[in-house]
Amino acid sequence: MTSNLFTFTPDPTLDLVLEREIDVPVELVWEAWTTPDSIKEWFCPKPWSVSSCEIDLRPGGKFNTVMRSPEGQEFPNSGCYLEVVPNQRLVFTDTLLPGFRPAPKPFFTAALLLEPTATGTRYTAIAIHGNEETRKQHEEMGFHEGWGTVVDQLVAHIKASIH
């Protein structure tokens, strides 16, 4: 469909990067990231949860989730996918709604990059922002801790589903 993929080169002043080596195969990481029922199990640091997830896995397709606080308050997130390369990269943004429509409250683009390793997967998540202020805000919201916890939950979910 398209020519070669461009390489993401994070800008330390604008972007946040989480890189981890995990001992589960890329195919299962991909499946966990692209299946609504699976997303509900691990996508949000507990005791928060995901009460709803809609996925239309193609560029311009919907990626909506609703996060629920322990007190039951709900926070919807709407966005769309930008790149869908199975077992390799998944890019989505809240800057565009489904159908590539400009969103009312753009915040960031996320790139998930997966590479197979001898023992599992090199897992890289990049949060791409438009300015330093947004990057800082995301950092202060607990990007590193939150996304780190989510990787632990993802790995635990995959291992539980294998056994």
Binding site for a copy of itself (CB under 8 A): 1-6, 8-9, 14, 56-61, 82-85, 91, 93, 95-104, 106-109, 111, 128-131, 134
Shortest distance, position 62 Cβ to a copy of itself, whole Å: 9
Between 22 and 111, CB nearer to a copy of itself: 111
Shortest distance, position 43 Cβ to a copy of itself, whole Å: 20
Q: How far is CA 46 from CA 17, 43, 84, 151, in A?
A: 21, 9, 27, 12
Sheet strands (E) in the chain:
15-22, 49-55, 63-68, 74-77, 80-85, 89-93, 96-97, 101-102, 109-116, 121-128
Shortest distance, position 132 Cβ to a copy of itself, whole Å: 12
Between 9 and 73, CB nearer to a copy of itself: 9
Between 12 and 47, CB nearer to a copy of itself: 12
Between 48 and 107, CB nearer to a copy of itself: 107
- What's the start-to-end Cα distance of the chain, in Å? 37
Shortest distance, position 17 Cβ to a copy of itself, whole Å: 14
User: Rounded distance, CA 72 to CA 47, Å?
Assistant: 11
